[in-house]
Amino acid sequence: MATRTRRNAASDGDGVTAAMSDPDPAKELLWARPGFLVRRLHQIHVAMFFEECQSPNITPVQYAILTVLSVLPGLDQTSLGQEVGLDRTTTMDVVRRLEDRGLVERRENPADRRTRHVHLTREGKSVVMALRADMARAQERMLAPLKPAQREVFMELLATLVEANNQYSRTILRSV
């Protein structure tokens, strides 16, 4: 495994990097697993999201649903879940919570009374707009250690992995 570098904790904050000393075998095993690193990066991003998006107390999953509805209004709950990679039960629960907060409304489909279409309310639209800059800051913070060219490659590689492995998820993304 290639030697990783880390920020030198003893440095004066100038970003000087130093090779890791005294490798920890357990850590080395975990850091060689892409799934571990992806999950860890997700945990870090969620923490950054909550730090940046404090005002309306929205979770990343709720924000994903609100964002999708801002560009694809009136999706049925099943399609909405497929857009963000959520199972039907989770989608229904998140939509119900957003509806209880007055951010979305479910409307009966006149052509099929078994389905409901989900729409942002005026308040929901306001929350999406208010959080866009906050979300951008969270994303910027997470990607800050990368140079612009590295960010582009990183995002392309993530998209490639998601697209190539989408069929293995419990909830397949519809838009992939």
pLDDT exceeds cutoff 90 at 70: yes
For residue 109, how many other CB atoms are within 10 A of its CB?
A: 13
| pLDDT mean over 33-60 | 92
Kindly report, residue by residue over 84-101, the tens digit of the pLDDT: 999 999 999 999 999 999
In the chain, domain spans? 41-159
Tell me which of 110 and 147 has the higher pLDDT: 147
| pLDDT mean over 154-163 | 96
1: its two tokens: 């495994």
| pLDDT mean over 134-151 | 97
Domain 41-159 - what CATH class?
Answer: mainly alpha
Q: Check residue 21 and give its pLDDT.
A: 61
Q: Are 112 and 76 in contact (CB under 8 A)?
A: no
Kindly report, residue by residue over 5-21, the tens digit of the pLDDT: 444 444 445 554 545 56
User: Which H or E element spans position 37?
Assistant: helix 34-52
Q: Are 170 and 79 in contact (CB under 8 A)?
A: no
Tokens 């612009």 correspond to: 148
Q: What is the pTM of this model?
A: 0.79
User: 15's torsion region: left (phi>0), alpha (psi -120 to 50) or beta?
Assistant: left
Q: Check residue 22 and give its pLDDT.
A: 73
Q: How confident is the model at residue 24 (pLDDT cuts 50, 70, 90)?
A: confident
SS3 for 50?
helix
Q: Check residue 20 and give its pLDDT.
A: 54
Tokens 């392309």 correspond to: 156
- What's the whole-number average pLDDT of the chain? 87
51: its two tokens: 């730090």
CA 120 to chain centroid: 20
Say how far apart CA 174 and CA 155 lie, in whole Å: 19
Q: How confident is the model at residue 117 (pLDDT cuts 50, 70, 90)?
A: very high
> Which range among 83-97, 104-118, 136-150 shows the weakest confidence by mean pLDDT?
104-118
pLDDT exceeds cutoff 50 at 3: no
Question: Rg of the chain over CA atoms, in angstroms?
Answer: 20
For residue 108, how many other CB atoms are within 10 A of its CB?
A: 11
